[in-house]
Structure 1
């Protein structure tokens, strides 16, 4: 159950962080204004809060693993929101990152 909760939290964190960064990008680079930027800042704050809800208590482990989730999530976000088409090296790199996440977070460790 902890593994499913952890995965759900990683997905929620990715949505908040990538979505927040995208909103700030839209506000600044696409000139959509301060409301977009403010919404992005709030979403980025939510990302920080969501990360603290992970069952594992080690900050370094959580953030290191989240880096891999961020890589895969960013490519997915780009596909959905901006029409980005990853090439095979993007996909391979994202899969390598997700394998790294699994090793960091879910490998059996002595108690």
Structure 2
């Protein structure tokens, strides 16, 4: 149950962080304005809050593991929101990052 909760929290965090960054990008690079930028800043703040809800208490481990989610999630977001088509190296790299995330976060430890 803790793994399922952790994975769900990573997914929510990714939506807020990647979505927030995308909103800021749209506001600045696509000239959509301050409302988009402001919404992005709020979403990025919510990402920071959601990250604190992880059941593991080690900040470094949570953020390191989340990096794998961020990489894969960013590629997925680009596909859905911007029509980006990853090549095989993007996909392989994302899979390596997800494997690293699983190892960092869920490997059995003798604590």
Flag whether TM exceeds 0.5 (same fold): yes
Q: Give CA deviations for 1:50-103 in whole Å, capped at 9, x if unaligned.
A: 000000000000000001100000000000000000000000000000000000
Residue aligned with 2:37, SS: helix
Question: Could you tell me which residue of structure 2 aligns to residue 83 of structure 1?
Answer: 83
- Mark the runs of 5 or more structure 1 residues left unpaired by the alignment: none
Question: Could you tell me which residue of structure 2 aligns to residue 5 of structure 1?
Answer: 5
**Where in structure 2 are the equivalents of 1:1-111 lying within 5 Å?**
1-111=1-111
Give me the TM-score of the superposition, normalised by structure 2: 0.99
Structure 1 runs, 4 residues or longer, greater than 3 Å off: none
CA distance in 2, matches of 1:84, 1:101: 24
* Count of equivalent residues: 111
